[in-house]
Each structure stands twice: as structure tokens, then as C-alpha cells.
């Protein structure tokens, strides 16, 4: 699986696991008293804990998503409790159920696609105003014109598109589809764990609503799972912000520090630095410099021999080989150094960008594009004499300086003399 595909799959994995767990729990029959009591309080508990978590970190979009799901749960749970206790539905059950089936995907899609703004208080007031306005209008119509509203909601407007399998009002299906397409487009433009959780959560709600009066505790379980998906996505993104470098996508310095604490007895650490990066940055600009860093990170992420690349800071990268010896790692480091040195980066005039892909290919193959290349120097050290990881990393950094002194674009092992490093650089 390509690395980008693996990253996207990791965005969906927690939400998919929660969805599968919710589906499995919903079909369990003859629940004991403990699980019955748990499912009764679980949505409220998830809202309180997850909502507090979102509020502390000022994640208003996620907070209002959870509140929207909980309001729909509360309204429908009141109806299902009455149905379980009395063996019949309340007089307003149909209109309340249809309103929830229409407004829940609508508000879920709106709040999910509504990006947070700079002024958080104004953003919160605006979201609350939308929720209050929609809720007030729906409540007013339900109280004043219940029968007329019920007939309008349940009317089949497009008979040719109506199927016997449809257990929701016809209006809810285009709203669900529109929300799903909107959230899919949002994820395609900006792949994030939160956007993946929103998509999976919407699917969970779409499955749960028709089962509200059929499977006991379906509503409790799935609404809890959807709110958990959102809270888990917030935690996932917080972890990424702390442990993953945003520019290159590699694990960052904090992730490296944690990895170094559990390396075991045998390992090799390497430090890599882009040669003459400051001069390159001054000549071509920071945008091209960022492009170079992403390229180097992409190459280093494909290091063989069981190595793992980390963004150390600036133009420096660290490579970790757990359970390896220096002799095992050197060939892989040479391969990655050469692959970076032989890669040509195409530079184009940003003020005269091509209008389409075909024109872009023509320019890249012609004289309109100039190419540059960069090289990296690598210093590598192996754990010996009971040294701790910090000292091994420092040794790799000293070897990196030796590689710079040897003419750059070479791999130097700690303790290797300068003349030997120069010979290897010339041979490379």
C-alpha cells in the first residue's frame, strides 16, 4: 500500500472500528442489566466528556456536531422510551421522527463543513444562532401545525425515485446524499482525521435512523459511537500536531525522542542535512526551499533496511535503525543519498504557470523549465559500549559534520577518519 494511501486509511481506521463495534452491539440480543444501564447513560456521558474536551481545546465545530447529534438522540429517545413502556408510539412520534430524519443530516453537514473562524466568540454565537433558529422554527411548526407538517414531510414528491426499501421520508435521502457529497469533497481537498470521522459518522446515522423503533438501544449506541468518532478525531489530530511535522509529513522531534527511549540494545542512528540549504533558500526562495524539504523527506521516508525517518528540525533529518548494525545500514544510506543527488527538481516561473496539464508537460519537457538538484550529507553512529541514545545521536551529529568537511554528498560513520571519508565521497 502506498504511504499516502496508508495515511488516508489511518484517518478512517478509528472511526470505522467504532462503527463496526456499534453495529455489532446493536444486534446483540438479551442484554444484561449492566449493558442496559450503560447504554441508557452512554450518550450523555460521551457528550459531557467529549464536549468538555472540545470546549477546552476550542474545537467549536466538533462541539456543535456532538450537540446536534445529542439533541436528535434526546428527542428520539423520548419517543422510544414511551414506545417500550406502553407498547405504542406517542401521537407526535411520526412528526418528530421525520423532522429528525430531515434536520439531523442537514445540520450535521452544515456544521461539519463550517470551518472555524478567527473570532471564536463570534463563530460560536453564529453556530448557536443557526441551531436555535432551525430548532425554533421546527418546534413552532410542530406545535402549531402538526398534521400539515406531517403531511408535507411524508409526501412522496418523486414517485419514480421512490423505492420500497426506503424507510425514511423521501426528503431525507437527498439531504443525506448532499451532505455526504459535501463532506467527501471536503475530505478530498483536505484529508484529515476529523473529516474522515464526519463521513463515517454520517453513514452511521444513516444506518441507525431507520432502526430506531426496531432494534433496542440502536439509537443510544450509534449516537454514542458517532460522538466518540468526533472526540477520537480531535485526539488524533492533537497527536499529529504534537508528533508529526506538518511540512514534510514525517514524525517530528517529539516522536523521535519517544522512539529513542525504547530502541533496545542494538541500533543505528543517522543524521542527515541538506547541503548548502541556506544558500539555496536565498537564491530560489522559501517556497522552493519547502519543496526541497518535502522531496528529501519523501526520499528518506522510503529508506530500506527497516529504517524510519524523522524531521529533526530545519533542514536536518534523523534516521533510526532498530536492531541493526552499522554494516547492515550503510548500503541503504548510500542508496538514499544517491537517489536524492540524482533527482532533478523542475523550477517554473510562478507568474507564468501553465493553464492545464498538457501545457505543463510541454513546458517541463522544453526549455521553459530549469532544473536544480540538491545533495545531502549523512553522519551515522552505532550503539557501542553501553552508550545511551542521546550520546549515539550526538556521535551521529559529529559524523555529519565530518561528512560536511569531507566535501558533502557523502555518508560518514562515526570514528571514520577524514581521509577515508574523502575517498568515499569521491567514489560516490
Catalytic hit among 62, 237, 258, 315: 315
For the stretch 166-170, contacts whose Cβ atoms lie closer than 8 Å and that sit 24 or more positions apart, written own/partner, are 167/210, 168/101, 168/209, 168/210, 169/98, 169/101, 169/102
Pairwise CA distance, residues 8 & 161, whole Å? 34
Pairing type for strands 307-313 and 316-322 reads antiparallel
Helix, strand, coil fractions of the chain, as percent rounded to 5: 65, 10, 25
The dihedrals phi and psi of 171, each to the nearest 5 degrees, come to -65, -30
Q: Which residues contact 354 (CB under 8 A, 6 or more apart)?
A: 348, 360, 362, 363
Contact between 272 and 376 under an 8 Å Cβ cutoff? The reply is yes
CA distances from 68 to 111, 192, 361 (A): 9, 21, 48
Q: Which residues contact 425 (CB under 8 A, 6 or more apart)?
A: 403, 406, 407, 408, 409, 410
Nearest to 127 by CA among 113, 138, 111: 111
CA 80 to chain centre: 35
CA distances from 348 to 290, 332, 369 (A): 15, 32, 5
CA distances from 141 to 14, 105, 135, 341 (A): 39, 19, 10, 69
237 is catalytic: no
Catalytic site positions: 315
Amino acid at each position: 500500500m502506498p504511504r499516502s494511501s496508508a495515511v488516508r486509511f489511518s484517518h478512517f481506521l478509528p472511526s470505522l472500528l467504532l462503527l463496526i463495534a456499534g453495529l455489532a452491539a446493536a444486534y446483540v440480543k438479551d442484554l444484561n442489566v449492566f449493558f442496559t444501564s450503560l447504554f441508557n447513560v452512554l450518550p450523555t456521558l460521551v457528550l459531557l466528556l467529549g464536549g468538555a474536551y472540545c470546549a477546552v481545546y476550542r474545537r467549536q465545530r466538533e462541539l456543535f456536531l456532538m450537540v446536534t447529534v445529542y439533541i436528535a438522540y434526546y428527542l428520539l429517545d423520548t419517543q422510544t422510551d414511551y414506545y417500550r413502556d406502553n407498547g405504542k408510539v406517542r401521537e407526535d412520534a411520526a412528526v418528530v421522527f421525520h423532522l429528525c430524519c430531515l434536520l439531523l443530516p442537514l445540520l450535521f453537514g452544515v456544521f461539519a463543513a463550517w470551518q472555524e473562524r478567527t473570532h471564536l466568540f463570534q463563530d460560536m454565537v453564529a453556530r448557536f444562532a443557526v441551531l436555535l433558529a432551525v430548532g425554533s422554527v421546527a418546534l413552532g411548526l410542530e406545535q402549531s401545525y402538526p398534521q400539515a407538517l406531517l403531511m408535507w414531510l411524508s409526501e412522496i414528491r418523486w414517485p419514480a425515485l421512490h423505492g420500497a426499501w426506503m424507510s425514511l421520508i423521501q426528503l431525507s435521502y437527498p439531504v443525506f446524499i448532499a451532505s455526504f457529497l459535501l463532506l467527501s469533497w471536503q475530505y478530498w481537498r483536505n484529508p484529515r482525521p476529523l473529516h474522515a470521522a464526519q463521513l463515517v459518522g454520517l453513514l452511521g446515522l444513516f444506518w441507525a435512523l431507520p432502526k430506531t423503533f426496531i432494534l433496542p438501544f440502536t439509537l443510544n449506541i450509534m449516537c454514542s459511537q458517532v460522538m466518540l468518532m468526533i472526540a477520537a478525531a480531535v485526539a488524533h489530530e492533537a497527536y499529529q500536531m504534537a508528533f508529526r511535522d506538518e511540512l514534510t509529513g514525517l514524525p517530528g522531534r517529539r516522536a523521535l525522542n519517544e522512539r529513542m527511549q525504547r530502541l533496545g540494545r542494538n541500533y543505528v542512528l543517522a543524521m542527515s542535512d541538506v547541503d548548502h540549504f541556506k544558500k539555496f533558500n536565498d537564491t530560489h526562495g522559501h517556497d522552493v526551499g519547502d519543496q526541497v524539504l518535502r522531496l528529501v523527506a519523501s526520499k528518506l521516508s522510503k529508506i530500506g533496511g527497516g529504517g524510519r525517518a524523522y524531521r529533526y528540525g530545519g533542514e536536518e533529518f534523523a534516521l533510526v535503525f532498530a536492531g541493526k548494525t552499522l554494516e547492515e545500514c550503510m548500503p541503504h544510506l548510500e542508496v538514499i543519498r544517491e537517489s536524492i543527488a540524482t533527482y532533478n527538481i523542475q523550477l517554473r516561473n510562478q507568474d507564468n504557470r501553465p493553464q492545464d496539464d498538457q501545457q505543463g508537460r510541454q513546458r517541463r519537457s522544453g526549455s521553459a523549465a530549469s532544473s536544480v538538484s540538491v545533495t545531502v550529507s549523512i553522519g551515522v553512529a552505532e550503539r557501542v559500549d553501553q552508550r545511551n541514545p542521546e550520546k549515539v545521536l550526538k556521535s551521529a551529529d559529529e559524523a555529519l559534520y565530518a561528512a560536511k568537511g569531507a566535501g558533502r554528498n557523502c555518508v560518514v560513520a562515526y570514528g571514520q577518519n577524514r581521509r577515508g571519508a574523502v575517498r568515499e565521497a569521491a567514489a560516490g
